[in-house]
Amino acid sequence: MFYYKFVENGTQAQVVDYQEHCFPFVNVRSPFESKPCKLYFIGGNKDVPTGIYLSQPAHDNPCCKFVSGVGAVPPNFLRAYTYKGTNVSQPDFYGNSVSTEEWHGPENFKYWTVGHFDKLYSNWGHDIVFQDGPTGVTWRWGNFDVTDQDDSIFALPADLKTCSNTCSKFLSSSEHTALGEHVDMIHSGRVGRPEQAKAPLASDVARAKTKVPRKQFKGKTFPHMSAKLNAILQRDPLVETRKCSEWSLDELHQLQTQLFQLRHGAFESIYRSAKDNRRLRAGTGGLAVVQREWEELKGAISASGSTIATLAHDILRDGHCHEAVMWYVHHLTTDVKAAIKGIEIPLLSEKHHSKDENGPCTKLALSRRLLADSAKALQKVCTAHATKTGCAACHADS
């Protein structure tokens, strides 16, 4: 169901009610279950910040902010589009072939409207198909019942404080299992076998085979490299970012579990053959090996005194931020990245810890804390940090 109301100096909103199955990749769980949801596009409301709000009670989500700063589509939005042709056949919501006029907009957005010569629709300019630019996801329309809509239809389903919370793109622990069982729905390959998934694009393969990054992806030092790559991540329309220091280890583990499940095996084969630092450290052991290492390191941190534990946590967290970004960039196909558009990933920490002056992972610093670090937590997390930041060998000159 689609509801729309756009009044100058009044209600400017639209609601898309997915009554059986939420639209693909609202979060990574959405393709796996038939759960309804609603999207509220709110704009021009002095009491509610402009944005797209999601309600999916079946996932214990009464309301959250899905995208900030994007409201209802204005009636004259096609003014920003370019006319591309007429008599273009497109299927409507019901599967009917419609003779349409095709329009291309900014950032690869596309729109098809009823043409002058269609035999089914007499209302020239009526909406038939909308295609999202970054993801390629399409919405198809049918006949609209054009009547006045009550403002209550567009009221958010929860209080503003609740709806202002950013929608989580993460999965619960039980849903990680579902992700592993249904990863073929994204890859079009076999369940749990990313090496048998749909082949990545030629450009993805070419990038994987290129060991030396281009100049714009390199820095003179580790901090310089991290700052440059962070700037690129912050401009990427497919991801949301958050400072590394604002992430917990559990959040990073959850994110990396998700990324591990979505990886494509073709990249790992290329990296392993070339002994490339982008290869995964799990070998053939899979996710269980990775998670066992995580738990061992967390155990060592927990067994340490509070001062050592806090320092060790931050060092390990910084390493995970680098590793998570590397997995996202170098182990996911372009198609999958588009499918999970809006996923939140960490920015890179600019601290190297073992090369920084007075860094806690230098040999001198570790020797000074040897007696206080009976669980050898610092030694273990420093070794892990060095492994997880192996990208610096190619991205940083020193």
Please answer whether residues 303 and 375 qualify as being in contact, where contact means their C-beta atoms are separated by less than 8 angstroms.
yes
- Does the pLDDT value for residue 8 go beyond 50? yes
Q: What is the pLDDT of residue 369?
A: 80
Q: What is the pLDDT of residue 192?
A: 39
Three-state SS for the chain is: CEEEEECCCCCEEEEEEECCCCCCCCCCCHHHCCCCEEEEEEECCCCCCCEEEEEEHHHCEEEEEEEECCCCCCCCHHHHCEEEEEEEEEECCCCCEEEEEEEECHHHCEEEEECCCCCCCCCCCCEEEEECCCCCCEEECCCCCCCCCCHHHHCCCCCHHHHCCECCCCCCHHHHHHHHHHCHHHHCCECCEHHHCCCCCHHHHHHHHCCCCCHHHCECCHHHHHHHHHHHHHHCCCEEEECHHHCCHHHHHHHHHHHHHHCCHHHHHHHHHCCCCCCCCCCCCCHHHHHHHHHHHHHHHHCCCHHHHHHHHHHHHHHHHHHHHHHHHHHCCHHHHHHCCCEEEECCCCCCCCCCCCCCCCHHHHHHCCCCCCCCHHHHHHHHHHHHCCCHHHHECC
pLDDT tens digits, one per residue of 170-217: 545 444 444 444 343 434 333 334 444 567 889 999 988 988 777 777
- pTM of the complete model: 0.55
The pLDDT assigned to 186 comes to: 38
Q: What is the pLDDT of residues 26-67, one digit of tens each?
A: 554 444 445 788 989 999 888 999 988 989 887 778 998 887
Report which of residues 371 and 366 the model is more confident about: 366
Q: How confident is the model at residue 159 (pLDDT cuts 50, 70, 90)?
A: very high
How high is the pLDDT of residue 307?
85
CA distance 202 to 199: 9
263 neighbors 279 (Cβ within 8 angstroms): no
In percent, the amount of the chain with pLDDT more than 70 equals: 84
pLDDT beyond 70 at 252: yes
pLDDT, position 320: 95
The band of 331, judged by pLDDT with boundaries at 50, 70 and 90, is: very high
**What proportion of the chain, given as a percentage, has pLDDT over 90?**
27
Q: Is the pLDDT of residue 108 over 90?
A: no
**Strand 61-68 vs strand 51-56: parallel, antiparallel, or unpaired?**
antiparallel
pLDDT, greater one: 77 or 347: 347
**Contact (CB, 8 A) for 45 and 78:** no
Confidence tier at 285 by pLDDT (50, 70, 90): low
330 or 283, greater pLDDT: 330
- Higher-scoring residue by pLDDT: 173, 94: 94
131 or 97, greater pLDDT:
97
Give the model's confidence band at 160: pLDDT under 50 very low, under 70 low, under 90 confident, else very high: very high
Local confidence band at 96 (pLDDT 50, 70, 90 cut-offs)? confident
Residue 188 Rama label (left phi>0; alpha psi -120 to 50; beta): left
Between CA 89 and CA 91 the distance in angstroms is 7
So where are the chain's domains?
Answer: 2-73, 77-140, 173-395
Residue 12 to residues 73, 75, 127, 271, Cα–Cα distance (Å)? 8, 10, 18, 50
Cα dihedral 110→115→119→120 (10° resolution): 50
Radius of gyration of the chain (CA): 24
